Every structure is written in structure tokens, then in C-alpha cells.
Amino acid sequence: MNPIPIAAEPSPFPLIAGKTALVVIDMQRDFLLPGGFGESLGNDVARLATVVPPLAALLAAARSAGLMVIHTREGHRPDLSDCPPAKLRRGAPTQRIGDPGAFGRILIRGEYGHDIVDELAPIDGEVVIDKPGKGAFYGTDLSEVLTDAGITQLLITGVTTEVCVHTTTREANDRGYECLVVSDCVGSYFDDFHRVGLQMIAAQGGIFGWVADTAAVIPALQQLTTTAA
């Protein structure tokens, strides 16, 4: 089947059946809800809530189209052995990774706050990657998972635009993946960083990848669903 072109910046993005995965980055309670890691860094977490409805719609379309879906979660082992001291030291002096927060120990695997928000919860068969860093490739088996599945195209979503989304997109781009960042399905605590972060991806002829919104991506996924049926 021929690729379906998605209208994107800086040029149409080729959506290829069987070779495309949806990546949902760190849509965890600790980043989105008050009392978690995001707020401990001094951020207004309410800004990230706008990402949830369009991302839920995209997730539903991706599932209907039979795309591989990969969720990531940033966090650490309970003994913090995988958290570099430099990361641990940063942030607000009163609350750090591993400290008790409103939803359990902040950014610790197995805690309620570390898990994904209910609206975007993974379903059976979807991959969940636990990552200690900002990028989803560092310290994980994401490369092997994608290679085994024959994936070459990534639809990248999640939070935050300029931190984990950017780091993962850059890592993926350097590994040869074609990355489309879905603009209304990524979010930041900072409006300016979000806007410029998206510009940086598509600038210079698409230096790190492509950018399009759900109004462009969901119809293409629906076309994939119809064609495959």
C-alpha cells in the first residue's frame, strides 16, 4: 500500500501502514496533576491538561487503524540507583524525586503518581517503556522494540514539548526514524517554549522531523483504517 501523505510542516509526512507507531510520552499523573513532580519544579501543571482530549482522540484513531502504540513513563527505581545525583539535586529544595508527594513518592516506579492518567491508560498489547531520562531511547529497550516490529515512522505526542518530547524526537531522528510531532497532542508548562519548540523541529527543512495537528493526522489514520478493512 502506498504511504498516505499527512499535510505537515515543512512537507507532507508519509504515513505508512505497518511501519508507523504512536509514541505517547510521559502522560503521567506526576506531570499533569497538582502535587507531583511537575509542580515540585515550580510549574503550573494546569497547562498540560489541554493535551488530554486531543490525545485521547488520536489514541482512539491509532488503535482503530491498528498502529503499534508505545507509552513511556519517566521515573526511577525505589532505591534511586538509576537516578543520577545531578538530576536528584535539581528542582525545588523542599521536594525532590523520591520524596512523598500527593500521589506517592515523586517519580518512583510503582507509585500512583508515576502512572499514566486514566484517560490515556494503556490497553492490553500496548508497550510501556519505563525510562530514567528525558529521552525514551536512553537506558531502555525502545530501539529493539521498534526494530523487531519493523517500525520506521513515529507519531510523537506527550509532555513536555521542549523536554522529553524534544529529547526523544532528537534521539529518534539520529537513529533514522521519521518523526511527526503532533502539535496539539504535546504540551509544555511554558507557552513560548511550546511554540518555539515546535518551530525548531520543522525549521531548516525539517531538521528533526515534521509537525502537524490532529485535524491533519486523524483523517489520515481513518483513511488507513478504511483502506485496511
Of residues 26 and 111, the one with the C-beta less far from ligand TIU: 26
Is residue 171 a contact partner of residue 209, using CB atoms and an 8 Å limit? no
Pinpoint the alpha helices (H) of 2-154.
29-32, 37-40, 52-64, 85-89, 142-149
DSSP code of 129?
E
Number of residues counted as binding ligand TIU (CB under 6 A): 10
* Min CB(105)–ligand TIU separation in Å: 16
Given the residues 131, 134, 179, 184, the one annotated as active site: 131
Residue type, 90: R
Q: Is 79 a catalytic site residue?
A: no
Of residues 163 and 217, the one with the C-beta less far from ligand TIU: 163
Q: Is 134 a catalytic site residue?
A: no
Q: Which residue in the set 163, 180, 186, 198 belongs to the binding site for ligand TIU (CB under 6 A)?
A: 163
Is residue 23 a contact partner of residue 156, using CB atoms and an 8 Å limit? yes
Other residues' Cβ atoms within 10 Å of the Cβ of residue 11: 12
* Min CB(16)–ligand TIU separation in Å: 27
* CA 89 to chain CA mean position, Å: 25
Map the footprint of ligand TIU across residues 173-212, applying CB under 6 A: 189
Judged by CB under 6 A, which stretch of 1-9, 51-59, 115-123, 160-168 contacts ligand TIU? 160-168
Query: Does residue 44 sit in helix, strand or coil?
Result: coil
Is residue 208 a contact partner of residue 201, using CB atoms and an 8 Å limit? yes
Given the residues 83, 115, 134, 164, the one annotated as active site: 164
Q: Which residue in the set 7, 16, 17, 41 belongs to the binding site for ligand TIU (CB under 6 A)?
A: 41
Pinpoint the alpha helices (H) of the chain.
29-32, 37-40, 52-64, 85-89, 142-149, 166-174, 191-206, 214-228
Q: Is 83 a catalytic site residue?
A: no
Judged by CB under 6 A, which stretch of 114-122, 136-144, 158-166, 211-219 contacts ligand TIU? 158-166
**Residues found near ligand TIU in the complex (CB under 6 A):** 26, 31, 41, 74, 134, 159-160, 163-164, 189
List residues with catalytic annotation. 26, 131, 164
